[in-house]
């Protein structure tokens, strides 16, 4: 079936790095833009980043720009989020979500179950 499965979360100290992965199955991965969205404890949803279907275009939230890098490997049907210089405020459940063919405008119709990232000393 159509699904996204995140992995790579865990507990990390402030200032360190972590890489999240999102494995896709059941659909033509290289046709769709894919997003990262997070939800901090007790807070609402926050959009993090998006990569176009071919990996050539990327956009980031200001809160992560310069620290996080989104990428994809279409040969492996996998999306990544490299998170550097992590801060306590990056603590959240991170979800990957499928967009559309175009990088902007499309709704997020498929979501993964999420992976928890905790930044703490």
Partner 1 sequence: EIVMTQTPLSSPVTLGQPASISCRSSQTLVHSDGNTYLSWLQQRPGQPPRLLIYHISNRLSGVPDRFSGSGAGTDFTLKISRVEVEDVGVYYCMQATQFPITFGGGTKVEIK
Q: Output the CA torsion 72→81→115→62 (10° steps).
A: -130
| Exposed e or buried b per residue across 37-49, where buried means at least 16 C-beta atoms within 10 angstroms of its C-beta | bbeeeeeeeebbb
**Least Cβ distance, residue 109 to partner 1 (angstroms):** 5
Question: What residues make contact with partner 1 under the rule CB under 8 A?
Answer: 35, 37, 39, 44-47, 50, 59-62, 95, 97, 104-109, 111-114
C-alpha span between 24 and 26 (Å, rounded)? 7
Nearer to partner 1, 15 or 89 (CB): 89
**Least Cβ distance, residue 4 to partner 1 (angstroms):** 9
Parallel/antiparallel/unpaired status of strands 10-12 and 115-119:
parallel
**Least Cβ distance, residue 95 to partner 1 (angstroms):** 6
Nearer to partner 1, 13 or 32 (CB): 32
């Amino acid at each position: 079936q159509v699904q996204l499965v995140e992995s790579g979360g865990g507990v990390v100290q402030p200032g360190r790095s972590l890489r999240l992965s999102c494995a896709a199955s059941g659909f033509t991965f290289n046709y769709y833009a894919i997003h990262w969205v997070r939800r901090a404890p007790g807070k609402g949803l926050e959009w993090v980043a998006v990569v176009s279907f071919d990996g050539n275009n990327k956009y980031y939230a200001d809160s992560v720009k310069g620290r996080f890098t989104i990428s994809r490997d279409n040969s492996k049907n996998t999306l990544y989020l490299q998170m550097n210089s992590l801060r306590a405020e990056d603590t959240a459940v991170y979800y990957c979500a499928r967009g559309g063919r175009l990088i902007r405008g499309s709704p997020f119709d498929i979501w993964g179950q999420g992976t928890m990232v905790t930044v703490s000393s």
